[in-house]
Chains A and B, each alone.
Chain A
Amino acid sequence: MPEPIKLTVSHAPFWHSGSQISIKSYNILLATLLAVIPGLWQYGMPALAVVSLSIALAMIWELIMNFLTRRPITIGDGNAALLGMLFAMMLPATTPWWVIVVGTFFVIVIGKQIYGGLGGNPFHPAVLAMAVLMLSWGNYFDFNAALVNYQFDFNPVYPLLLSKSFGAGAVESFSLSDLLVGRQIGGIGTSFPLGLIIGGLYLMIRGYIRWEIAISFIVGMFVTAYAFHLANPEVYAGAGFHLLTGYSLLGAFFLATEDSSSPVNFIPMLIYGALGGLLAILIRNIGTHTDGVIFAILVINLANPIIDKIRPKTLGKVINYA
């Protein structure tokens, strides 16, 4: 009798859409490059060092945690590299190396791995790490001081700080088109809003980030900032200024949309995003911090499980009265 053929046996479905975590990670990484490369061009080698170190360390922390927790090696899915990249995008180009070591430790170990890795984290890991660093070593994130040795052909003052300290009149010299094309100082990946917008649009069209969250975040921010501006145009800068400065667009497209810490249902996504935009402006305009995006996102991350309970009724729900 001939040897029987060994068929592959597995379970349905036998087709797959082809999506993969790594494909998503690499696409988001690609989109970040649109903002990061102009940043590298603006800030030079120190910025490249920060970005490289951050990505490398994030992957190393991930690997260390994989070994410590005796779980499969997950750096291949690209998520650690992406988190390292997003973290670096928020940093000034002159960030000392040890801040990045500590920061990436918080990103990967405290922000992600102790919850069981990708998918378990209640907060965006990079946002969590950034909040820790901003509260612990705030002076390193004073962009005016950090970038004092650079020569720029535009006003080298962090626009958000200017508007916070001296009112809307102080930032009138920043035209929106200048801000849009990156004639402002800020984080490595946040001072070129045009790149963030193009990258964000690409990701929304490809479905790698949810447009519901990104758009509602921007709308929430715009409406709130506009309302403040209407109430007192001398103190509060306009909505366009707020959208194009600080971490606004990075938050809308790359931070608020992180899968694990954001809702999955339609209405919750809208509420989540709008709430984030609202809080960010509230913190900027009447809070003590210069930029509210980081803390706003932490708060909406926290609210996510509750918001996500609003969901459509299941069809054909079988009720057992037993």
Chain B
Amino acid sequence: MKRSFFGFIKPKLTYEAIADTQTEPAYVPVSRKLKFLLDTPLEHAGDLAMAVGDQVKSGQRVQIKADSGDYGLAGKSGKVTEIKPFLGMMQAQMTSVTIAVDEAASQAVDDEFKQQRQTPTLANAARFLQGLPGKPDFSPFFNPDKDIKAIVVLGVDRDLLATTSQYFVKTGIESIKTGIDILRKITGIHNVMLAVPEHLVQVAGASGAGVMTVDSEYPAAHPQLIVRHVLADEVKAGAEVSNSDVAFFSAEAVSAIGAAFNTGQLPLEKLVTFISKDGNKRLVSASLGTPLEDILHALNETVQDGDRVIFGGPMTGVAVYSTDQPVQADTNMILIQDRSQVAEPSDVACINCGECVRACPVNIPVNILVRFLEAEQYEAAADQAELHACIECGLCSFVCEPRIPIFQHIKLAKHMLERMKAEESHA
């Protein structure tokens, strides 16, 4: 959190290595309800695949649009009690589905997957595995614009402080190996790399995949930066390299895939790095859909008015407004900040000190970019100041002396450009 006394040195933020004596994750019992946030807007869903009052079995897909790939996996059996619209980031129209847990019925397990697991195909993977903890994303394989050449399994955590992915590499390399074998089989891509921090290289060797070391300095573990290493030859040749050539899976997702095929049961527990106000770090394991308050309760933690609860890491996470927020398949980390730690941004203009330019890992002229963004000239920002090269690491805002929310400006600009593009193609 601090600037180095020797200010001519670039600030160095390093990823944390998982402790050698990592204890078992704390288990969080589900009290009464599970909640799922689905990307499909309620009003566009058409005929709902689920209705209030429906019984849900453990492991069943919770969805409002049948077979859309947009679903959550119910961690426990229960009954749907509420389906309502939910407003996500950048005014995203989403839907929340609440399930009242019925402990008595918890034995009821959805066995649809069990019957299908003998035929591991891409279509089946997309149908059954996308809701697994770690959120494996198979959509790139179905996108005709993409030509996937390699798969990278991320054994590193993208944001600071988190050790979720490292935990799976450290303790569950066997199921990662199984998962990688299955991924090879269903995608037909044999170039699989496992990206790990240096201290896990030896463990990672057992995975059967190519091992790639990721630097410990933030933001080396950002997927876009890892891509450059995987496809180093093409980068040198000056070819356009984007995520379209590489598919990413988190170590947790691959491990879950492995476990699913080994046992026939879909894993429904999500591992989360939980960091309390005093910086105390714990790994917790909670059913998909568990609301934050259950975790707080299980860990004896409290939050008060004015505190900040962040889903995701300190650099790129999302602050939530309610303790009702559920653990989802891609929730790797929950960070609680006391109200006294909340740093205020300001509306002072850029002073051109250049700290952001020196911090940027992809050499964006941030000082120019922010001038366009503050004037809401998003197209000019994309054309003249490399807006789209941004990998969203948040370092520019971290070092900003006038404390301009540059990162938020960038995300807003990208969102607005997307929207303008969508409106154009609509018209």
Given A264-B367, A316-B391; A10-B319 close (CB under 8 Å): yes
Segment from A12-20, A93-101, A153-161, A179-187 that makes contact with B: A12-20
Cβ contact within 8 Å between B9 and A207: yes
Given A259-B352, A312-B363, A316-B228; A11-B319 close (CB under 8 Å): yes
CA distance in complex: A211, B319 (Å): 38
Cβ contact within 8 Å between A17 and B11: yes
CA distance in complex: A291, B320 (Å): 59
CA distance in complex: A234, B353 (Å): 42
For the complex, is A124 an interface residue (Cβ under 8 Å from B)? Answer: no
Cβ contact within 8 Å between A8 and B3: no
Cβ contact within 8 Å between B242 and A318: yes
Which residues in B have their C-beta under 8 angstroms from that of A313? Answer: 363
Cβ contact within 8 Å between A311 and B343: no
CA distance in complex: A211, B386 (Å): 27
- Count residues of chain B with CB under 8 A from any CB of chain A: 74
Cβ contact within 8 Å between A5 and B323: yes
For the complex, is B307 an interface residue (Cβ under 8 Å from A)? Answer: yes
Cβ contact within 8 Å between B397 and A13: yes
Cβ contact within 8 Å between A12 and B315: yes
CA distance in complex: A214, B140 (Å): 51
Cβ contact within 8 Å between A8 and B322: no
Residue of A14, A204, A265 with most chain B CB atoms under a 10 A cut-off: A14
Given A13-B314, A16-B398, A18-B2; A118-B320 close (CB under 8 Å): no
Indicate with 1 or 0, residue by residue over A1-35, a CB within 8 angstroms of chain B CB atoms: 00011111111111111111100100000000000
Cβ contact within 8 Å between B317 and A14: yes
For the complex, is A319 an interface residue (Cβ under 8 Å from B)? Answer: yes
For the complex, is A120 an interface residue (Cβ under 8 Å from B)? Answer: yes
Given A9-B320, A13-B314, A206-B7; A318-B342 close (CB under 8 Å): no
Complex: chain B residue closest to A4, CB-CB: B322
Cβ contact within 8 Å between A119 and B389: no
In-complex Cβ contact of B386 among A13, A265, A314 (8 A): A314
For the complex, is A70 an interface residue (Cβ under 8 Å from B)? Answer: no
Cβ contact within 8 Å between A19 and B3: yes
In-complex Cβ contact of B349 among A119, A311, A316, A318 (8 A): A119
For the complex, is A44 an interface residue (Cβ under 8 Å from B)? Answer: no
For the complex, is A169 an interface residue (Cβ under 8 Å from B)? Answer: no
Cβ contact within 8 Å between A264 and B8: no
For the complex, is B304 an interface residue (Cβ under 8 Å from A)? Answer: yes
Which residues in A have their C-beta under 8 angstroms from that of B5? Answer: 206
Question: What 14 additional pairs, Cβ within 8 angstroms, besides A10-B345, A13-B395, A210-B8?
Answer: A7-B323, A8-B306, A11-B405, A11-B411, A13-B394, A14-B337, A21-B401, A21-B402, A72-B347, A118-B351, A120-B349, A205-B8, A207-B9, A316-B241
Q: Which residues in B have some Cβ–Cβ distance to A below 8 Å?
A: 1-9, 11, 224, 228, 240-242, 303-310, 312, 314-323, 335, 337, 339, 342-343, 345, 347-355, 357-358, 361-365, 367, 386, 388-389, 391, 394-395, 397-403, 405, 407-408, 411
Q: Report 20 cross-chain contacts, Cβ distance below 8 Å, ordered by A residue.
A: A4-B322, A5-B323, A6-B306, A7-B308, A9-B319, A11-B407, A12-B408, A13-B395, A15-B343, A17-B1, A19-B3, A72-B347, A120-B349, A205-B6, A206-B6, A311-B365, A315-B362, A315-B363, A316-B242, A316-B362
